[in-house]
Amino acid sequence: MMIEDIAQELAHLIKSARADYAEARVEESQSTQISYRGRELESVNRSSAIGGNVRAFVNGGWGFVSFNDFSRLAARVEAAVSQARFVGKGKSRLAEVAPVVDTVPAADNNPLAIPLVTKKQTLDEYNDIIWRTPQIQTSTISYGDGYKKTVFVSSGGSFIVQERADITLRVSAIAAKEGDVQQAGLSLGSRGDFKAINNIHKQIAEMAQNAVMLLSAPKVKGGEYTVILDPVLAGVFVHEAFGHLSESDFIYENERLQKLMVLGTQFGGDHLNIVDTAALPGMRGSYKYDDEGVPATKTYLIREGKLVGRLHSRETAAAMGENPTANARALSYRYPPIVRMSNTYIEPGTVTFADMLADIKEGIYAKNWYGGMTSMEMFTFSAGEAYMIRNGKVAEAIRPVMLTGNVFTTLKNIDAIGNDLDMNQGGGCGKGEQMPLPVSNGSPHIRIRRCLVGGK
């Protein structure tokens, strides 16, 4: 039985369910994972999965049931309704959306059509490049691809079929000398196009050489500097430090954050615009409809420096009196949708990289990243590469730096935004045990005044 047939049966059952609202998703997927640790191939896995779920809304309470056995669908619907009735204590409110009937095919790029031996041969070549580099101590390579088909149905009449493909490649090299250890990494991804991670031998070699180079790089003196972030690190900053604060389920449940994230608050200069949208073509965070059947839209979070929007599910939009933004997403049929980012980025400005450098007497150019954490509005990020800026020029390499600060203060300290927007496709977002969800983030180069840099 095809999953469309199962979805048709579920559509009939949820329409007659004793719930204020009900929906169901049925999904089938296939995936490949290949990993290396050091010189050795560690694992090769091919897997497939099929399953579904039902979510019911009664008196403001949700019930959720997932399953991979399609023999008792009526009982699954009833179980979800019973759960919702048990927890529901108020009034059911969901933002209104029109029902949709649509089919969204994937692009022609299906990574599952590429022979496993071709994928392994490519990764073998990358591993050989890393291990030809002197002073490499160990390395990791993690490749994954997948192809998924999902059918969403709702008691409101939606019937949406969506297909998507995905590829990720994460590579790291660790160099060591006399007890000193340094690392460099590379993360890439695409919506199923293997070309995005193929023929990158030069990038792999540069990454391994960079890890070795860092062994002899000096440490910077800690303190406040003017810092330029490259598009990768700036994109991670806007996703991690600000994007998560814009997820409305987080805001709705946190009184302190409600006071901080008041619409209309000035968070930056007129040149600062931050967007989240799933409507960008070809991005890993893109989709036509979210997992509640809401059409993708473009949401300004900050416009001309002011907080003007946030990310919503249908429930949070109704609770906060705002419009749904198509940001309810689920990792797989095993999970209910929660509020998540899609493609989050700082819009480009007009400043060239050369002009951004020009008036910096002494500063830091921070690129890439390999770690970080956030706690409410406070953040700490480690750059993957760093260079001194001296008299308007990028100068010597230094050890990777750690950037720390308050996101709201840092946004106000962004005094220049580049004209060179670039999107990073190598990321995966984690929230509520659902990870890694495909997302993209990006930015042009940005310049931050008075940024706290950790050092010696």
Domain match, 268 and 210 both: no
**Model confidence at 1: pLDDT above 90:** no
Domain match, 202 and 227 both: no
Q: What is the pLDDT of residues 23-71, one digit of tens each?
A: 999 999 999 999 999 999 999 999 999 999 999 999 999 999 999 999 9
**Model confidence at 456: pLDDT above 70:** no
Domain match, 212 and 227 both: no
- In this prediction, residues 240-266 reach a mean pLDDT of 93
Last residue in a domain, options 186, 216, 246 = 216
Letter for the amino acid at 441? N
Domain match, 141 and 90 both: yes
Domain match, 203 and 278 both: no
Domain match, 252 and 145 both: no
Domain match, 77 and 142 both: yes
The confidence band for 371, taking pLDDT boundaries of 50, 70 and 90, is: confident
- In this prediction, residues 129-134 reach a mean pLDDT of 97
Q: What is the pLDDT of residues 146-181, one digit of tens each?
A: 999 999 999 999 999 999 999 999 999 999 998 899
Last residue in a domain, options 181, 216, 251 = 216
Domain match, 185 and 273 both: no
Last residue in a domain, options 216, 235, 269 = 216
Domain match, 315 and 382 both: yes
Task: State pTM to two decimals.
Answer: 0.95
> Based on the structure, what is the number of domains in the chain?
2
Domain match, 441 and 304 both: yes
Domain of 21 in residue numbering reads as 3-216
Domain match, 205 and 331 both: no
CATH of residue 77's domain is: 3.30.2290.10
Q: What is the pLDDT of residues 293-348, one digit of tens each?
A: 999 999 999 999 999 999 999 999 999 999 999 999 999 999 999 999 999 999 99
**Model confidence at 253: pLDDT above 90:** no
Domain match, 159 and 286 both: no
The reported pLDDT for the residue numbered 178 is 87
Percent of the chain with pLDDT over 90: 93
Percent of the chain with pLDDT over 70: 100
Which range (116-125, 138-147, 240-249, 372-381) has the least confidence?
372-381
